[in-house]
Amino acid sequence: MGNACCCCTDSAASDPVHTGTTNSYAGTSSKFTSFSQDKSSLEISNGSTPSGTTHRPHSISTSIASLKAFSYNDLKAATRNFRPESFLGEGGFGIVYKGYVDEHTLVPSRPGQGMAIAIKKLKLEGVQGHREWLAEVHYLGALHHPNLVKLIGFCAEDCNRLLVYEYMPRGSLENHLFRKGRHIATMPWETRMRIAVGAAKGLAFLHVAERQVIYRDFKASNILLDNQYNAKLSDFGLAKDGPMGDDTHVSTRIMGTYGYAAPEYLATGHLSARSDVYSFGVVLLEILTGLKTVDNNRPSGEEKLVDWAKPCLDNKRQMKSQNRGPPWKRSWIPLNSCRVLGRGRCKIHG
C-alpha cells in the first residue's frame, strides 16, 4: 500500500492559541513515529493517545476498523487531480476539496455522480498537522453521533495524509452568520436555535461518553450544516481525553481559538468540560447577536464579544441584533432570553 513515512515528534514548547479561524473540514498533541496505509501499522508510539494521555477507551487500530483506507490515486481521481474547481477551502491543517465516489463501493466516480465527499489534504510541511490528522482518526473513527460529522476514511500512503468526510452542503455556521452574500440569506431565528441545540447535543455526547472527550475548539467555523441545517461538529484535531477518577481537570498546553477559549483555561492550562461550555456560550452569543467573537472595530474594552455582552446582561437592557439584511428582517432579542441562555449554557459571569 505504500511505504511508511517517518514524522517528527512532539516538542516541549507551548503551542500558541490559534488567532484565526481554520477551515471547517480541517483540524492532541502526541508523540508518534510512523504510519503506513496498512491499518494494522497505524499506531501511536509509547501507548499514548493523540491527547497525550495513557488511558484510552480504544486504540488507533480500533478507531480505524470501520474506516475506508483510500489510495492516493483514488482520491486524485475523485477530485479530478485536485483541480481548482474542486476546491472548498483552506485552513491550518491543509486544503479541502470536494470529490465524488460511488455510494456503495466508495470507488471514484464522475463529478456530480454518486456521493459527494469532502477530502482534507494535509500540508506536507505542517508538523502540527500530522498530530491533528492522527487525532481526527482517533476520535472520529470511534465516535458516532448525529451531531458529529462522519469520517468516512483516510489515506496514509507514503507521505500523503488525507481525511475523507461526508460532504456538508450548507457549509459552516460562521459563513451564514458573517459572510453573507448573494447566495447566503439571513438565517431565521428558528433555524439558529435548532443549530444551537444540535451543536449542544453533539458537545454533550462528548462530555458524557464512557471516556469523556473535551472538544477544545468549539466555534462557529467548526459547526457544519447539512441540507436541513442540522448541526454537526467537525475538526477534532485539538480534542483531548477528559479527566479520570476524582480529577476535575487535565493539565495541557494552551491551544484553541482566541475569543472562544475560557479565561481560566488560558490562565492555568487546566482543561475540563466547562471549558467547552464557555466556548458554547460564546457561539450562542454570536448566534443571538450576529456579532463576531472578536472585532477590533468595536470600542476599546468591547473587542471581545463576551466583554461587549456583559453590560447587556447586567443592566436589564435589550440586546439589538446586528444581523445584516433589510430592516424588517432585523429583530430585538429580549434580555431575559439572553440571561437564561447565558446562565444555563454559558459561563458569562465569572
Q: What are phi and psi of 193, to 5 degrees?
A: -70, -35
Question: Considering 74, 217, 235, 276, which one is annotated as catalytic?
Answer: 217
Q: Is the distance from CB of 274 to CB of 262 less than 8 angstroms?
A: yes
- Buried b / exposed e across 263-278, counting CB within 10 Å, b at 16+? ebbeeeebbbbbbbbb
Q: Is 217 a catalytic residue?
A: yes
Radius of gyration of the chain (CA): 20
Residue 68 annotated as lining a ligand binding site: no
C-alpha cell at 161: 495524509
How many other β-carbons are positioned within 10 Å of the β-carbon of residue 58? 16
Say how far apart CA 131 and CA 116 lie, in whole Å. 26
Q: Is the distance from CB of 38 to CB of 58 less than 8 angstroms?
A: no
Helix (H, G, I), strand (E, B) or coil at 78: helix
What secondary structure does DSSP assign to 176-196, as a single string?
HHH--BTTBPPPPHHHHHHHH
Active site residues: 217
- Give the annotated binding-site residues for ATP: 121
